[in-house]
A and B are shown apart, each in its own frame.
Chain A
Amino acid sequence: MLSRRIIPCLDVREGRVVKGVRFRDHVDMGGIAELALRYRDEGADELVFYDIGASPQARSVDYRWLQQVSALLDIPFCVAGGIRDVATARAVLHAGADKISINTPALERPALVTELADAFGVQCVVVGIDSIREADGQWRVRSHTGDPDSTRALPLRTLDWVAQTQRLGAGEIVLNCMDSDGVRRGYDIEQLAAVRAICEVPLIASGGAGAVEHFVDAFERADVDGALAASVFHSGALAIGGLKASLRARGIEVRDA
């Protein structure tokens, strides 16, 4: 049986891992390779590196740290940030990334999803979605979220975008619920479940993890394939080994590291 994945997310800026609350006020969390190996040793199933400065500044990721991380890691990792064409995606994959995740560039030019899927297969193509509940009760997407001053509200409904990206060739969707991001009060189960209902590819929950129970809820109530978290792991509030032992005790299939 396929296990549920625990995925620490490392927001990368200028060669360091950083973390902010509600996407603001970034604090230095440590070196990239050092944190990547720590999580590997603790039993992380996969890592995601978000180059959070890339999209707002219209530049792409720096491949040197990527090659270093790839040489050290024997678990899969995904890279997001500033990938806006097939050539850049190829360079990132050749530097050792197993998957590429696109967010703002896919919103700007949806055909990019198809181009990437055709070039590398859908299994390499992750679409990240930043979503927020608006005053009228609808979830809608945000772009350029790496920098709060550049963030744009789009008229596109999150559920419509989820449906569209799957048709275009997304092999996995990471749904980041911005209302709950960084505040550790739990994943947005209602929104995740609504997306799950129309999402046939793997779905990863993001935003809000603060305790074991939050992971249990995401897997049991929203049936997500993986759960991504950052600050709860960076701060040491939750250790991955202990989290997995608790999930296993609840009958949730997770990998023994």
Chain B
Amino acid sequence: MRVALVDAGGANLGSVRQALHRLGVEPQLANDADSIRAADRVILPGVSTAAEVMRRLRELDLVNTLRSLQAPLLGICVGMQLLFEHSEEADTPCLGLLPGRVQRLSPAPGVRVPHMGWNRLRPLRGSALTRGIDDGDFAYFVHSYAAPAGEHCVLACDHGSRFSAVVERGNVAGAQFHPERSARVGARLLRNFIEATP
């Protein structure tokens, strides 16, 4: 199993890599089209801004590689937001692998932005990717932008309003929370992603 970890300047690269190590997987850091295309699984991590990661993907000439990928792809946090058509963060056009636009979370009394901390997951439909994750399980979130809970939402989360915590369509999936820092639930999601039959 070749797992490619796309090095697009995402600051959580190291912690995602270590989370995979804990599962016995040795990922390859990849910043070129050939090694990404040769992988059986591709993970796009991201702690940064949507604009920053998209700029880096364009610089590395990886936009079309990711758009035409056949292997299962998992975007994490900003990496998930980039799967959509557009992000409101600095008005950034994204990869467009999933329909929809990423929007800023709205602050309200008692609803602080960034959404930071452990929040409950709400399954909207079943998926091999989220097997073993139950209604009300907690995951760790740190973000100010999110995708609405649209047709491809598998797990939702509520912070002021409802948004997508995990999305999936075909070989393309994303987690808004940080599986690398979400204890048992996060490890389960990563293991499911690695083990699921495409």
Binding site for B on A (CB under 8 A): 1-5, 40, 45-46, 67, 70-71, 73-76, 90, 93-96, 98-99, 118-124, 171-172, 200-202, 223, 225-226, 255-257
Contacts and interface: CB of A to CB of B under 8 A. Distances in A.
A202 B13 contact: no
A171 B115 CA distance: 9
Interface in B1-32: 11-15, 18-19, 21-22
B118 A45 contact: yes
Contacts of A119: 48, 52
Contacts of B21: 71
B118 A96 contact: no
Contacts of A45: 117-118
Contact of A93 (B11, B22, B180, B181): B11
B138 A255 contact: yes
A166 B140 CA distance: 23
Contacts of B97: none
A124 B47 contact: yes
Interface of B: 11-15, 18-19, 21-22, 47-49, 52, 78, 107, 110, 112-120, 138, 140, 142-144, 158-159, 178, 180-184, 186-187
B140 A201 contact: no
15 contacts: A2-B115, A70-B15, A70-B18, A74-B180, A74-B183, A75-B183, A76-B140, A93-B12, A93-B47, A98-B142, A99-B142, A123-B142, A200-B113, A202-B114, A225-B116
Nearest to A226: B117
A247 to B, nearest CB: 13
Nearest to B49: A121
A257 B144 CA distance: 25
Contacts of B112: 200-202, 225
A64 to B, nearest CB: 13
A2 B114 contact: no
Nearest to B179: A74
A5 B118 contact: yes
Contacts of A99: 142
Contacts of B158: 1
Contacts of A171: 114, 116, 144
A122 B115 CA distance: 11
Given A1-B120, A45-B118, A75-B183, A70 B144 contact: no
The interface centre, meaning the residue of A4, A171, A223, A225 with most chain B CB atoms within 10 A of its CB, is A171
A86 to B, nearest CB: 11
Contacts of A122: 114, 144
B144 A123 contact: yes
Given A3-B138, A71-B21, A255-B118, A121 B14 contact: no
A120 B47 CA distance: 6
B119 A2 contact: yes
A97 B69 CA distance: 30
A94 B16 CA distance: 10
Nearest to B180: A74
A122 B160 CA distance: 19
